[in-house]
Amino acid sequence: MERGEGGNEQPRSGVEGAVRGAAVVFGVTSRVGRELALRFAERGHPVWVGARDQAEAERIAKDIAVRTRVVAISGGFDARAVETHAALVSSIEAAVGPIERMVIAFGDMGDDGRRDPQMLRRIVEVNYLGAASLAELVADQMAARGRGIIAALGSVAGDRGRQSNYAYGSAKGALALYLQGLRNRVFSKGVHVMTAKLGFIDTRMTWGLATKIPIASPEAASHAVLEAMEARRDDLYWPPFWRGVMGVIKAIPEAGFKRLSL
Amino acid sequence: MADWVKRDMEGWGRWPVISAEVARPETRADMVKAVGDSQGDGLLAYGLGRSYGDTALHSGHVVMTTRLDRFLAFDPATGWLKAEAGVSLEEVLRVFVPRGFFLPITPGTKFVTLGGALACDVHGKNHHVDGSFSNHVRSFELLTASGEVLEVRKETHPELWKATVGGLGLTGVVLSVELRLTPVAGPWIEMESVRVEDLDHFFAVSAESTGFTHTVGWIDCVTTGKAMGRGIFMRGRHAPQGIEAKKSLLGRVVDAADRLLDVPIDGPGWLLNQATVKAFNEVYFRKHPRGQKNSIVHYEPFFYPLDAVRHWNRIYGKRGFLQYQMVLPKTPDQRPLREILGAITRSGFGSFLAVIKEFGPTDNGWLSFPTPGVTLALDFPNHGAPLLELLERLDAITVEAGGRVYLGKDARVSRESFQRMYPEWEAWKAARDAVDPKGVFRSTMGERLGLVTPGGRS
Ligand SMILES: Cc1cc2nc3c(=O)[nH]c(=O)nc-3n(C[C@H](O)[C@H](O)[C@H](O)COP(=O)(O)OP(=O)(O)OC[C@H]3O[C@@H](n4cnc5c(N)ncnc54)[C@H](O)[C@@H]3O)c2cc1C
Ligand SMILES: NC(=O)c1ccc[n+]([C@@H]2O[C@H](COP(=O)([O-])OP(=O)(O)OC[C@H]3O[C@@H](n4cnc5c(N)ncnc54)[C@H](OP(=O)(O)O)[C@@H]3O)[C@@H](O)[C@H]2O)c1
């Protein structure tokens, strides 16, 4: 792991004497993830940011350190390598201290609607298995200390299976269910778990998407997710109109829904 | 494969419009991949599109740099900042002005990227004192056609340096820049403005303004005769500690302007006709009292008066507009400059905004624009052929005088004129062909000026 260097200036807060506990973002090469990490650092949390591309995570850590003068540490991880996750979480806490905020930003829509076994495995392993594994491990650490907030970037696609993206949607939906159970389990231990159900955000995932539906900026999404986390909301739809849209879509009886092309 | 999307691309002048396959890499690895993808029909970096004509346009592959916008290191003891090329000047100011640092050089808009600033080697109001952008850069990382990333310094790669600085994106994609910020006491500028009654008066005031780091003039290019070149001369410097404006009111005005002023739709074609331009010039001149005014102003209105209106380029309507900026070596009688102003007035194509400034000594890239002399920048609605004829005439006067046109604002200079304006173009081309032998990096402007060959192999 490497330490971002914000010039010679004194860090405003750090591992020693930090006012706030650490915030970690898994999947920081997502623009939403990066913005969230920056938001946490702006609030004085030392941050740990991770991605498969460790050099890229390190550039992001440096950026956060220069902008906020807060300690920012980067590391590599793979969501699918669940057997490495326990050691990963320990090493993160050894580097930045007890985790107080955690965001799962990674996700994988798969390629071109492919649903062959390899692709299904990848989609399920990244969006569901990897996310559940990290959430579970971090939730235990938080529960032991009696505080912490966890959020995962889910998707409105997880609210109902549709022919256009049900492999990805079902994995996101499964994650939402998992987090619901986890929320229930750790609530009494002072830990909060939130699912952010995102609509269209202007990132790599939506680049070039031709749609009349409004696309939100990653920055606005990060503010919304952070506020909802701090308010200990159970879920968030962003942009907000998606709550209504999905309410309608979920209400359509299956007998009719299966005939639609959505 | 990066994700390529067909898009119509335009510069700030909105003319011409060129369709391209566009990617917007989110990571450095994806940027490298994108450059690899493009072999064949060429590639060009696109920053914030604040160059005017076809500088940032290309009919093949275009990569947007704005998502690669990380600050990589900052040393407050020296002011050295290392940042990725997609960082905007606005972002640098937002983060560093509160910490007591300012941009060493800034163009008249803060909505440009560091990569764009290097590729056009931009100049500001302090050119006569501080030179252009590249004078404050000690190294940059360049992603070349082979996919290699080079750390380029003047000392280690003298030719690649001179080819890339001001090199219009045609040597590769700049990934990061090391730029030295200037320490300042705060956001305030001590400013004086002087009403100048004619061209001679302008040069006299310019000459006596040595105590100021930043100077620029606005001139009326509608009025002929004795008052030709009348206008307003503005000079300023970063205010020392303890000097500041009454913040509340000004701050509120700036904030309000920021939120409210936008041009959401295209202006009607008649908006900027000869009558409105004439009226504007008259009012602008008259509203300044004879003589001199002193004030303390925030850097926003001083450096970026136009940024307050978000999409002001839409005022010119769908047909777009052309900016013409040239620099002329100084002569005792300023004959070429008078000829140019005369030609413009006679044509009846008044310019809304005519900006004049004296440049200082230079030692920059082979295609860097600034050379010692006087520079004049003018905006013209796109009147089509008659305007293009006028600009040809201005080119002829400029070439004759040993001057040149700014390529960061050009859409139409001929190859012949270009070669006379930039006699070092051959040295530039040799260096560029050495780093990009297959001709991967290409642009509409590069093809027009003979800097690169259409269809590859430069
Ligand atoms: C209102 C206004 C005022 C201006 N005032 C001034 C002024 O006072 N002085 C001045 O010098 N200029 C001025 N300009 C011009 C502007 O500063 C330059 O054109 C600048 O290059 C624009 O930067 P950009 O990020 O928008 O680049 P773009 O317009 O997107 O691109 C410009 C060029 O830079 C290249 N480029 C961009 N990013 C990279 C990269 N990462 N690597 C390699 N090449 C790259 C492009 O290929 C293209 O050739 C002004 C423009 C406007 C709209
Ligand atoms: N954009 C939208 O409209 C939208 C809508 C609904 C939900 N979401 C969700 O929002 C989150 C952020 O996505 P985004 O829009 O920012 O798109 P993105 O840029 O594609 O982000 C996805 C991230 O997941 C990471 N990732 C993929 N597989 C991984 C693995 N095995 N291990 C670790 N990291 C892995 C990617 O990292 P690499 O760089 O290593 O590939 C990337 O950083 C995702 O969970 C996505 O599902 C987005």
Indicate whether B256 pLDDT > 90: no
For B97-143, what is each residue's pLDDT tens digit?
A: 999 999 999 999 999 999 999 999 999 999 999 999 999 999 999 99
The chain B residue lying nearest A204, using CA atoms, is: B26
Put simply, whether B74 touches A (Cβ < 8 Å) is yes
The pLDDT tens digits for A25-41 are 999 999 999 999 999 99
Domain of residue B353: give its range. Answer: 188-241+257-412
Interface predicted TM-score (ipTM) of this complex, two decimals: 0.94
> Considering only alpha carbons, which residue of chain A is nearest residue B21?
A208
Tokens of B300: 């926003």
Whether CATH 3.40.50.720 fits A15-253: yes
The ligand 1 site (C-beta within 6 Å) comprises B 12, 44-51, 55-56, 65, 85, 107-109, 112-113, 115-117, 119-120, 122-124, 168-169, 173-174, 306, 408
What is the per-residue pLDDT for A18?
46
In a domain, B8, yes or no: no
| Global pTM value | 0.95
Q: For residue A63, which residues of chain B lie inside 8 Å, CB to CB?
A: 70-72
Contact between chains at A55 and B28 (C-beta distance less than 8 A): yes
B281: CATH: 3.40.462.10
Q: Is A51 in the pocket of ligand 2 (CB under 6 A)?
A: yes
Q: Is residue B79 within 8 Å of B101, Cβ to Cβ?
A: yes
- Secondary structure element (H or E) that encloses residue B327, with its range: strand B321-328
Residue B123 to residue B119: CA distance in whole angstroms: 12
Residue B70, amino acid: R
Q: What is the Cα–Cα distance from B237 to B294, expressed in whole angstroms?
A: 12
Which of B287-290's residues contact partners 24+ apart within 8 Å by CB, and which partners?
Answer: B288/B193, B288/B195, B288/B232, B289/B195, B290/B195
User: Could B84 and A59 be called an inter-chain contact, meaning their C-beta atoms sit closer than 8 Å?
Assistant: yes
Dist CA A22 CA A92 (whole Å): 9
- Residue pair B110/B94 in contact (Cβ under 8 Å)? The answer is no
* Alpha helix segments (H runs only) across B97-230: 114-119, 127-130, 158-164, 199-207
Residue B129's CB is within 10 A of a number of other CB atoms, namely: 14
Backbone angles phi, psi at B58, to 5 degrees: -160, 140
User: Does B75 contact chain A (CB < 8 Å)?
Assistant: yes
> Which residues of A form the catalytic set?
168
Overall domain count for chain B: 1
Residue A14 pLDDT level (bands cut at 50, 70, 90): very low
Would the pLDDT of A3 be above 50? no
Q: Is residue B387 part of a domain?
A: yes
Q: For A74-94, what is each residue's pLDDT tens digit?
A: 999 999 999 999 999 999 999
**Burial bucket for residue B290 (CB in 10 Å: 0-12, 13-18, 19+):** exposed
